Structure 1
Amino acid sequence: MTGSLYRGQAGLPFSSTLRAYEPLEAFPAGQQEALREAGARSESRAAVENAELLASLGRITRPGGDPFPTGQTDLVRVLAVSTSGGGNDGDGGGGSHGDGDGGSWPARLLYCPSQLVLRAGLAANALLEGIHGPLAQLLIPEEQRDRHQERIDQVKAREGAARVHTRASTWGIPFSWFCLFQESDPTDVVEAGGRIVTVRIRTTLAAALERVRHAVAHLALAAPELDMLEDLTQLTEWLELFHPDSVVELDYGAVADKVYPDDSPLDVRLGIECLAEGDMTGAAAAYRRLASRWIPIRQLARAS
C-alpha cells in the first residue's frame, strides 16, 4: 500500500497511537450525525493524517501562544470492516468505505473521533503534574488553561462522559500495547518514496481483551512486581469502555521505518509465557530482543 502521510514530519518526535473504532450506535445521538457525515466524505486516510498534522503545527505557531485545539476542526477516522466476522477490509479514512472482501460481504463503518480537545486537556494535566510542571506552567499560562477547561466542559456537556478513543506515545511504543496483537492480525504497511511511512495492525476488541486478560493473569502470578502489570491492568480497563463490536488499531507512525518488520508482539508474548513457566532464560532473551529494538529509539528523545 502506498500513501503520502506526515509530509514535513522530519524533525518531529516519533509518535505512535492506539485507537478504538466503534460502531455508530455506540455514540450519543447528538454526535452520530456528525460522524455519519464524516463517513460520507471522500477524504483518504492520508488526507486525515496530514490535516491533523498541519493543524497541530498551526497551533504551535498561532498568534497569542494558545496551543490548545478549539475543537472546530476535529477529525474522524473511519474504518470499513466486513460483517463476515471481524475481518478488516482496508485502511478506511475520513470517509473511505472500502470494497469489502471482493464484495461478497457488506462493509460496516466504525468511527474513531480525534477528540483533540479532551486529549489536549489530559496531556496538559500530565505535563503539569510531571517533573517538568514548573516549566509547563510558564509555557501554558493559567488563562489559557482556564479557557481550554471551558472547551472541555462544553464537549462533556454535549457528548456526556466521553470515552477517549486514542492513546498516544512518543519515542517508542509501550510494550503493553503489543499484548493486544499477534502476527496473524490484519496489517497495512504504508510506503512512500522508498520509505515505510507507517504500519497499522488491527484486531477485534474481543480478541484484544482476551489477550490482555491472559497476559494480566500470567504476570499477576509470575511477576506481580513488574510495572507492565499495572500498564496492562489500565489498558484492560480502557478497552472495557468500548462497544463489543469495536476494532482496536495500533498505528506505528514514522517509527515504523526504523523497526519494521517488527517481532515485538511475538517477543512480548513469548516473554510473558516464559515468565509464567519459570523460564527466566527465555524471558531474558525475549526482553533483550525488545530492548535492542526499542531502546535506541527511546534514546533519540535525548539526542541533540
Structure 2
Amino acid sequence: MQDVTVVRTSVQPPYAAHLRVYEPLAAYPEPERGHWQAYAAEHGPDAGAAERPVAAAVLEEQREALAELAARTPRALPERESGRAYLRVVDGVLYVCPWATRLRSWQALDELRAGAPVALLDTALPPAARAAAEADRERWRAEHPDARPWILTSRWEVPVRWFLPFGDEDRCFVPAGPEAGQEPVREAGRGSGQDGEQAGAAALFYLVPMAQARRRVARAYRALREEVPDGELVQGAEQVGRWLEEFHPRSLVELDYGGLVHLLGPERLSADRSAGELEEGLRALRAGDTAEALRVYGELTVRWRRVLALRHAN
C-alpha cells in the first residue's frame, strides 16, 4: 500500500450500536447530489467493498464530536448541519449515509430528557438552552417536513428488533489484527490526513440490500401479528418497517455493533449469532411451534439485557 500514514489514538467510540441506511447517490436531489459527489471525490469511500467495516469513519465522527465539546461551551446541538457522511462502494455503486448530526442531536436530547435525572440534566444543559434547541427544531421541521435520520443509535445494546432485516448470511465479523484481513491504516490525504484507524480493531456488522430487509421485516411482522399480537417484537417490527419505507428501494441497510465490540470482547463477538437465532425463532413461529419461538426470543432478550446491565457496572 502506498502513501500510508498510521496514527494511533486513545479515543474509542462509545458503547453504542448503529442501524444505518445508505442510499445510492442517484437517490439524492440536487444540490445534495453534487455535494456528496464532490465529497466522495475528495475523501474516497469509508468501505470499498461489502465485507469492509466503516469503523475508522465512526471513530473520526467521535473525535470530531469530542473536539466540538473541547473547543467551546457545550451546546444542546451543533450550530450547523454536518456536511459529512459515511460512504460505501458496493459493486461499483456509491452509497451515502449522511451523518445528519443536528437531527440526531435533537433525538439524543429527547432521550436525555426522558432518562436523565432533572438535576443532572439542568447542570449539563440548562432549561434555557434546551428551550432554545426545541424552538430551533420546530423552525427546522417547518422547513424540512420530510426529514428523517439515516442513522439510529442504541447505547449499551443492540435492540432485538434491529436484527429483523438480517440473516446469519449477512453477518460480517472482522477479528482484531491485520492478519485477519482488516485494514489497520487509513490512506494519507483522506479527510484531514491525521485520523487513523486503531490498528487491528475488531468489527461486527450486517449489510443487506433494502429490498431484502423490507421483505424480511414484513414476513416477520405478519407472523408475529398472527401468533403473538401483543408481543413487544410486533411493535418493534412495525417501527423498523416504517423507518425502512422512508428510503430509496435500492438502498443498503447496515447494523453495526460499533463500540460494543470493545465491550463484548473477541470470544463473545465470534460466537454471537443473534440475527440467525432470531431468524430460527421466526421460522419456528411460522411452523406453529410458538413455544420454541418464545424460548429463542427469551434467550436472545435475556442475553442482550445482561449486556445492557453493564452500563450500571462500577
TM-score by length of 1: 0.79
1:77 and 2:86 equivalent?
A: yes
Q: Is the 8 A contact 1:20 1:247 kept in 2?
A: yes
1:237 and 2:242 equivalent?
A: yes
State the SS of the aligned residue for 1:187. strand
State the SS of the aligned residue for 1:253. coil
Q: Give 1:55's aligned residue.
A: 64
Q: Is the 8 A contact 1:221 1:276 kept in 2?
A: no
Q: What are the superposed Cα offsets for residues 246-268 of structure 1, whole Å, 9 maximum, x if unpaired?
A: 01011111323523232111111
Equivalent residue for 1:205, pick from 210, 223, 239:
210
Q: What are the superposed Cα offsets for residues 218-256 of structure 1, whole Å, 9 maximum, x if unpaired?
A: 010111111111111011010001011101011111323
1:179 and 2:164 equivalent?
A: yes
Q: Is the 8 A contact 1:18 1:168 kept in 2?
A: yes
| 1:54 Cα deviation after fit | 0.8
Q: Give 1:102's aligned residue.
A: none
Give me the whole-angstrom Cα distance separating, in 2, the residues matched to 1:6 and 1:130: 34
Aligned 1:121-270 pairs, distance under 5 A: 121-130=106-115, 132=117, 135-149=120-134, 152=137, 161-185=146-170, 187=172, 189=174, 191-192=176-177, 196-256=201-261, 258=264, 259-261=268-270, 262-270=272-280
Q: Is the 8 A contact 2:82 2:101 kept in 1?
A: no
- Runs (5+) with no aligned partner, structure 1: 83-106
State the SS of the aligned residue for 2:37. helix
Q: What are the superposed Cα offsets for residues 148-205 of structure 1, whole Å, 9 maximum, x if unpaired?
A: 4566467657766222100110111011111111122263526348965321211010
| 1:123 Cα deviation after fit | 1.7
Give me the whole-angstrom Cα distance separating, in 1, the residues matched to 2:70 and 2:81: 17
Name whichever of 211-220 and 175-184 sits farther off.
175-184
Residues 185, 59 of structure 1: CA spacing in aligned structure 2 closer, same or farther, 3 A cutoff? Answer: same
Q: What are the superposed Cα offsets for residues 86-132 of structure 1, whole Å, 9 maximum, x if unpaired?
A: xxxxxxxxxxxxxxxxxxxxx11110000000010122123324464
Q: What are the superposed Cα offsets for residues 14-37 of structure 1, whole Å, 9 maximum, x if unpaired?
A: 111010011223223122222112
Aligned residues: CA RMSD:
2.9
Q: Give 2:23's aligned residue.
A: 22
Q: Is the 8 A contact 2:223 2:286 kept in 1?
A: yes
| 1:294 Cα deviation after fit | 2.1
Aligned length: 276
Higher RCO (C-alpha 8 Å, min separation 6): 2
Give me the whole-angstrom Cα distance separating, in 2, the residues matched to 1:129 and 1:289: 28
Q: Is the 8 A contact 2:160 2:301 kept in 1?
A: no
Q: Is the 8 A contact 1:179 1:211 kept in 2?
A: yes
Q: Give 1:287's aligned residue.
A: 297
Q: One-letter code of the match for 2:306?
A: P
TM-score by length of 2: 0.76
Residues 5, 116 of structure 1: CA spacing in aligned structure 2 closer, same or farther, 3 A cutoff? Answer: farther
Q: Is the 8 A contact 2:81 2:102 kept in 1?
A: no
Q: One-letter code of the match for 2:58?
A: E
Give me the whole-angstrom Cα distance separating, in 2, the residues matched to 1:159 and 1:275: 41
- Runs (5+) with no aligned partner, structure 2: 1-5, 47-53, 178-197
Q: Matched residues, percent identical? A: 26
Q: One-letter code of the match for 1:303?
A: A
Give me the whole-angstrom Cα distance separating, in 2, the residues matched to 1:36 and 1:157: 27
Q: Is the 8 A contact 1:185 1:201 kept in 2?
A: yes
Q: Give 2:182's aligned residue.
A: none
Q: Is the 8 A contact 1:19 1:166 kept in 2?
A: yes
